[in-house]
Amino acid sequence: MAVKKNSPLTRLGRVLRSFAHPYVLLHPFRMLHYYGYSHALQRPRMTLGHDVRLAPNSSFRNGERIELGDQVQIGEYCALWSGRSASWIRVGARTTFGPGCFVTAADYGLAAGERITDQDMIERDVVIGEDCWIGTKTVITAGVTLGDGCVIGAGSVVTRDVPAGAIAAGSPARVIRMRS
């Protein structure tokens, strides 16, 4: 008797084979390892103010050079990566990051004739003022300073400083207007 292509028996066989695959069995351990080094082990290394809220799936690198002020909120899937040796990420009190934001305090070198990943990292501090709102999926690059009270529109790529009280958006982000 032939088993039909979409019969319940065929579907059950596919499900059982997928659960028994070694990659499927090992993946939860890989995820625990990733969560450990990207969140759980970084958190005690970071300087955190009072009442800081970090989404459980946010990730951090080089936590000893990340400083978050009082009541900072880091949304889901955000990543804050300070430099490997020198550069800091400092975030002022009451700043909120929407989901999916990425902040980096280091860039790869761009010299021709040498592999990019073999070049020294170029590290520059990122400073984000108090009471800022960083929209969903914003990217903030190394060396940027955002003044107090800034609003950065969703999906923006911030490559230059933004003055206090400005609303900026776009790729690259540009000041659209002032809040006052």
pTM, two decimals, is 0.84
In this prediction, residue 149 carries a pLDDT of 98
Helix (H, G, I), strand (E, B) or coil at 44: helix
- Judge whether residue 81 has pLDDT over 60: yes
List, for residues 112-149, the tens digit of each pLDDT value: 999 998 999 999 999 999 999 999 999 999 999 999 99
In this prediction, residue 17 carries a pLDDT of 81
* More confident call, 34 vs 87: 87
* More confident call, 9 vs 110: 110
Delineate the domains of the chain, giving CATH numbers in brackets: 42-178 (2.160.10.10)
In this prediction, residue 31 carries a pLDDT of 86
List, for residues 1-47, the tens digit of each pLDDT value: 565 677 777 878 888 887 788 888 888 888 888 888 888 899 999 99
List, for residues 140-155, the tens digit of each pLDDT value: 999 999 999 999 999 9
In this prediction, residue 55 carries a pLDDT of 95
Average pLDDT value for residue range 69-88: 96
Distance CA 77, CA 72 (A): 15
Distance CA 119, CA 112 (A): 10
Q: Residue 158: CB partners within 8 Å, gap ≥ 6? A: 138, 139, 140, 141, 144, 146, 152, 168, 172, 173
Q: Which two tokens stand for residue 28?
A: 């939860």
Note the helical H segments in the chain. Answer: 8-20, 22-35
In this prediction, residue 180 carries a pLDDT of 83
